[in-house]
């Protein structure tokens, strides 16, 4: 296996995914912005070819018309990290599950489903994890009514 090169990784991913991936950075992470249709392709490459063996966490952000999913990935043996972001429209809040790549996605995807209402295709047990099954709505959405108020 070649020594890890962030620049090489980005070039290879841009060559493979074209305009479906964009790159950026903040003070802590290299950020990959991916089209939701190519999410599992990107994540599989990050795990299998670039050694990102740990999905530390995933979360979501409500931007009104869109939801953004945020994934923090680490290569523990190589001490590398990357942040992956993708957006889905509020009207079609659904992404592929990443459980087959990282089992740690299980409860985290369930939490996002429970609190934000984003569905994960292929998740083997996508049920509420924090709230009762008969709870109506998703309380972390900006349009969730609390006590009859918006």
Q: What is the pLDDT of residue 2?
A: 61
**pLDDT computed for residue 3 by the predictor:** 73
Q: Tell me the domains of the chain and their CATH numbers.
A: 6-105 (3.30.460.80)
Report helix, strand or coil for 61. Answer: strand
Average pLDDT, the chain: 94
Check whether 124 has a pLDDT greater than 90. Answer: yes
The tokens of 135 are what? Answer: 């709870």
pTM of model > 0.85 = yes
C-beta neighbour count of 14 within 10 angstroms = 15
The single-letter DSSP state of residue 2 is P
Interior angle at CA 142, CA 107 and CA 109, nearest 5? 10
How high is the pLDDT of residue 132?
95
Q: 54 is written with which tokens?
A: 């740990």
Per-residue pLDDT reduced to its tens digit, 27-77: 899 999 999 999 999 999 999 999 999 999 999 999 999 999 999 999 999
Exposure class string for 93-128: b at 16+ Cβ within 10 A, else e? bebbbbbebbeebbebbbbbbbbbbbbbeebeebee
Residue 148 banded pLDDT, cuts 50, 70, 90: low
């Amino acid at each position: 296996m070649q020594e890890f090169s962030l620049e090489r990784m980005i070039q290879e991913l841009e060559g493979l995914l074209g305009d479906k991936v964009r790159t950026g950075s903040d003070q802590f992470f290299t950020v990959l912005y991916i089209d939701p249709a190519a999410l599992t392709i990107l994540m599989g490459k990050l795990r299998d070819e670039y050694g990102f063996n740990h999905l530390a966490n995933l979360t979501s952000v409500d931007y009104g018309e869109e939801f953004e999913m945020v994934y923090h990935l680490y290569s523990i043996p190589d001490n590398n990290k990357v942040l992956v972001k993708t957006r889905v429209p509020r009207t079609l809040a659904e992404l592929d599950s990443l459980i087959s790549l990282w089992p740690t996605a299980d409860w985290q995807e369930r939490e996002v489903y429970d609190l934000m209402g984003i569905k994960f295709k292929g998740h083997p047990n996508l049920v509420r994890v924090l709230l009762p099954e008969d709870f109506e709505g998703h309380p972390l959405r900006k349009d969730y009514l609390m006590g009859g108020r918006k």
